[in-house]
Amino acid sequence: IEYIDFVKSINNLKEFIDDKTAEIIELVCLEDYSIKDAASQVGLTGWAASMRLKKLARNPRTSRIIKEILNKEM
């Protein structure tokens, strides 16, 4: 994913995500961190981070964007 596309996608999610979730997504997508390692960087467990991302993936208003950002089905 291109950085500019990533920034646009994150901006589309702003009303639905907090700073920690945004940072996790950035670390996973742009820095090639695993979800577990990204979660550790922001002070969450891997489980907590996964639950945040799954919640976004199940939300009809955010699912397309989050799946596109993460480039995989959750």
At 18-55, the pLDDT tens digits run 999 999 998 998 888 999 999 999 999 999 999 999 99
Exposure string for 7-30, b = 16+ CB within 10 A, e = fewer: eebbebbeeebeebbebbbbbbbe
9, 68 contact by CB (below 8 A): yes
* Whether the predicted pLDDT of 1 surpasses 70: no
Instruction: Write phi, then psi, for 9 (nearest 5 degrees).
Output: -65, -45
pLDDT score at 6: 79
* Rounded Cα–Cα distance for residues 26 and 53 (Å): 12
* Rounded Cα–Cα distance for residues 9 and 11 (Å): 5
